[in-house]
Structure 1
Amino acid sequence: MHTPLTEPPAAAEAEHLERQRAAITRLGHELRALVEATVRTAASHDTLHRAADGVRHVTGQLTGRRRARAEVPEVDGFPGGPRMYSPVVGAGSPLAPPVHITPTDDGLIGHCTLGFAHEGPPGYGHGGMSAMLLDELMGQACTAAGTPGLTVSLQMRYHQPIPLETPLHILGRVTGTNNRKIFVTGAITTQADPSTNLVTADGVFIAPDPDQVRALFPGMREEA
């Protein structure tokens, strides 16, 4: 008689997280498509009312327990891991472009394309989106350099507007440290013309001490 094989708990948990993240990513993709269609449509008011009824029905299906304000989602790896619902990099967020990040020789580079949902002046990205993109990349550059930090200041310079529907590069690089302070630079360019800065930033981040981390993020798992 053969004893049925059972999956080790760690492997089962990893498979569960993989499936959950895949489902979250798929839903996020469809929600971003919905948001983009919503802000671009010229549909009639009758069509919009029918769509609103349909969206309400879908929202009603997302039942069950809702996570608390300071709770870290089980699908996240905070700090330093995936953030599925981040409004910048989250594959599950309807607000995110989302940004895909890769390392460089001296920092990080993000790749994304802003849509009409991120519009400020007609045809261009909102200036606040530029600040959010750079804040994220510069903060992640701190973590990648081994010195995770929280934003203290972010000085922005807007050289040219950010075009919509255009592949972008977002750069983040740590330039120095002073005790707990971390100094970071960032820039946004187009993928087609990476030598021309559209927006640049200088930032100061600070590494919180362990007591501050526990106070700020009570839901953070100890193993993170």
Structure 2
Amino acid sequence: MSTHYGRAQHLETPPGFVHDELTKAEVKEREAALVPLTDSVRRLIDALVRTQVAEQGMEDVRHRVDALTEELLADALPGPHGVRFGSDGGYRNYGNPVVGKGNAIAPPIAFQRDGEAVSAEFELGPAYEGPPGLVHGGASAMVLDQMLGEAASAGGKPGMTGTLTVVYRQGTPLGPLRGEARIESVEGVKSVVRGRLLTRPADGSEPVVCVEAEGIFILPRWARQDPAGVDREHVGEA
């Protein structure tokens, strides 16, 4: 279930939000090391899905991967990363499976805002395959859940996913895709958001709508005490 809150430090801090004192410079330094490592592991996942090396070769790689994993676990959190925020004014949700900078299963996707609408151009490769050559329906739903939540935040109505209705118009091909979403209506603490995934043809032909979704996003109770303190920035997953 997606959560799209705002500036939690102005409100009662909900579970999973952790305040730290990292400066912008420290965050930048951390991400300069984290993002390339995440990219490398993402390539490893893709390679694992597609590899045809002999069994002995896979066994050798497994031992090396296990050794590297132990290096990273030598200093690791005991549980989920959660959402971290601090004096730098930003939010760090590195574990998010769609946009997390520290999560190698995230495509990743960078959303662009245009007023109260959001869009993104991205690729889903072999690691997201369901039917042969097509994106797994659950992966499409996950991306749209995130995108609709981003649109709710862009429209000043951040919240948690209450319902998500997904309609699969046709198979979504692996490769370049485009996503679009915007708020359709607002009623109190609820906002209705609609979005879709489209093909992104390389030959310049017309894009085709593959998946459509409608979600109801609800402002959480802890944020209702000070709605003005909740800004439009997406901050995480619940």
Same fold (TM over 0.5): yes
Aligned partner of 1:209 in structure 2 is 221
Aligned partner of 1:156 in structure 2 is 166
TM-score, normalised to structure 1, is 0.81
Query: Higher RCO, 1 or 2 (CA under 8 Å, sep at least 6)?
Result: 2
3-state SS of the aligned residue for 1:172?
strand
Does 2:32 match 1:28? Answer: no
Does 2:193 match 1:184? Answer: yes
Percent identity of paired positions between Structure 1 and Structure 2: 32
> How many Å separate the matches in 1 of 2:95 and 2:184?
29
Aligned partner of 2:28 in structure 1 is 18
- 1:200–1:194 CA distance, 2 compared to 1 (3 A): farther
> How many Å separate the matches in 2 of 1:71 and 1:96?
16
Give structure 1 stretches of 5+ with no counterpart.
1-11, 214-224
3-state SS of the aligned residue for 1:25?
helix
TM-score, normalised to structure 2, is 0.77
Q: Which amino acid aligns with 2:185?
A: G
Give structure 2 stretches of 5+ with no counterpart.
1-21, 226-238
Does 2:120 match 1:122? Answer: no
> How many Å separate the matches in 2 of 1:147 and 1:185?
14
3-state SS of the aligned residue for 2:83?
coil
Give the stretch that moved more between structures: 201-210 or 47-56: 201-210
> How many Å separate the matches in 1 of 2:94 and 2:82?
13
Q: Name the one with the larger strand percent.
A: 2
Contact residue 85 and residue 91 of structure 2 kept, 8 A: no
Count of matched residue positions in the alignment of Structure 1 and Structure 2: 200
Aligned partner of 1:7 in structure 2 is none
- 1:18–1:30 CA distance, 2 compared to 1 (3 A): same
- 1:53–1:74 CA distance, 2 compared to 1 (3 A): farther
> How many Å separate the matches in 2 of 1:55 and 1:106?
43
- 1:97–1:71 CA distance, 2 compared to 1 (3 A): closer
- Which one has the largest radius of gyration? 1
Does 2:79 match 1:68? Answer: yes
RMSD: 2.5
